[in-house]
Chain A
Amino acid sequence: MSAPTFKKTKVQQKINLKEEFGVDVSDRPDLAEALGQAIIDKMVTRTKASKGMQFSGNGAGREIDLSSKKYSKSYKDSREFKAFGKTNKVNLTLTGDMLGQIDITKLKGNSVTIGWDDAEENAKAHGHSTGKNGKVPKMKRPFFGVNKKELQGLKKEFKSDLNKVLKEEQTKKQKALTNNLLKALGALSDGKN
């Protein structure tokens, strides 16, 4: 599974759905879209519950507690903090735009890419993830990306959808085999005649 990339201009995670879910969804964009959205929902729900995601050098992701990284006093005293009704809960939600705008930025075959198409929201995410963006957050609060365990959870959640595609795939294969066998029979019969 590939870990997210954290570039200043592009924070994203590319996931191969066939590898992760064991089913070829390349001609099922509807299911690919639903899976992509479920991955986004997983990240957002987790972050809103003050849980982040830290990826190590080998690409493995580990859930971390964001609540220990408390908001600064100056941030809590800001007009924005009060106006948007924010509480002390560290959930990376002020206006709601950063988490609300995570989207499927590319969907091709079995590959889905999750990220932002908005430069400002991307920069915010980069700052939170790396702690390097002086403009917005100074403290590192990594949250973006899903790990293997979360994807396994989704695999269970989508079991019936995936099984259905598998069955359809098998039926397709069976049909193709039947057609080929019939063709072979036909060819042999032709040869006899």
Chain B
Amino acid sequence: MGKTKVTFSGLNKIRKLTKRIFDKDIFTNRLVKEVGLFSQERVKAVTRTGYGVTNSKKKKLKRLSNSYKDMRRGAVKFRTVNGAVIPFQEPDERIQEVDKKFFEPDFSNLTFSGQLLESIKYTYNRAKHIFTIQPTGKRKKLPGESKTLTNKKVAEYVAKGGRPFLGIDKKGAKTIANMIKREIRAQLRKNNLKK
């Protein structure tokens, strides 16, 4: 699960009815930007507060393991030696790179360096009216790391590990629906003045 798609099923009916209106008059560049940025920042903020989203429902992210908490506290580091993971009683070098604003060693919020959440961006497919919210780009190499992954790969990894987070909760979707309503009402007024 490397991305989430935000579609507006209720509005698809309107789109079929009046495609031109939907394309040009409702989903203006301004609205696309407003909805896109809101969705993008919503995913980041909800995750930073320790929640993931599955099927539009907010759910606390799975707790961190004790050994990983130890690593995040700077107490140990893990190395793979001959295929076995061995802990060493010394700080992991990566601890120098934590995101000071949102990182807490014992708190599960998908934040260590902060790169994953920070990389989340939206794109909008105008033909299909789909917003896609997904992590982007390659990660910065942290001290002691030998290879760099893409943020999308990391998102897939954490989701597989039981921490799905790329989604818009019901409340967020409702707020987005209201943004669209506002645009429709603005168009109603414009249309009235044109007559």
Contacts and interface: CB of A to CB of B under 8 A. Distances in A.
Those 5 A-B pairs whose CB atoms lie nearest each other, nearest first: A83-B48, A34-B189, A100-B175, A37-B185, A30-B188
Interface residues of B, number: 29
A36 interface: yes
Contact of A34 (B45, B102, B172, B185): B185
A24 interface: no
B65 interface: no
B49 A80 contact: yes
A85 B40 CA distance: 13
A144 B95 CA distance: 46
B19 interface: no
A contact patch SS: helix
Contact of A37 (B102, B182, B191): B182
Contacts of B188: 30-31, 33-34
A161 B193 contact: yes
Which of A33, A82, A100, A161 has the largest number of chain B CB atoms within 10 A? A100
A37 B186 contact: yes
A97 B175 contact: yes
A41 B192 contact: no
A97 B171 contact: yes
B189 A31 contact: yes
